[in-house]
Amino acid sequence: MALTHCPKCDKKISDKADQCPHCEHLMVADPEKLETQRRINRIKKSSSLITQSFLGLILFIGGLAYSSWYAEDGMSNDKIAAQVIAGIGVFWYLVSRIRILMFRRSGK
């Protein structure tokens, strides 16, 4: 295994590594490979944002469903808790949606 220097942080790394283990600089010289890697990273990031927005939505629906169907009438503690959870869910969902929008706008 031959060693080479990372062009970014100048640390010694294997010449077979695709990515510098120190600074995560991509060692792939092939622009097509770089583009693919970039696209994979974007897909990963956008799918994690989508997952978060779904989790927020599930919290919201779950909290709302609990507070309207399962909790006792009146203001019981679990009803308040369910509504707080629904509120957090809605907030989380909206934040994720905004991040997705901003993320899509930043891409080309």
Residue 94 zone, left/alpha/beta (φ > 0; ψ -120 to 50; rest)? alpha
| Own/partner long-range contacts of 25-30 (Cβ < 8 Å, ≥24 apart) | none
Specify the 3-state DSSP secondary structure of 26. Answer: strand
Would you say 23 or 34 has its CB closer to Zn ion?
Answer: 23
Residues that bind Zn ion (CB under 5 A): 6, 8-9, 20, 22-23, 25
- The least CB distance from residue 87 to Zn ion, in Å, is 44
Would you say 19 or 52 has its CB closer to Zn ion?
Answer: 19
Would you say 29 or 75 has its CB closer to Zn ion?
Answer: 29
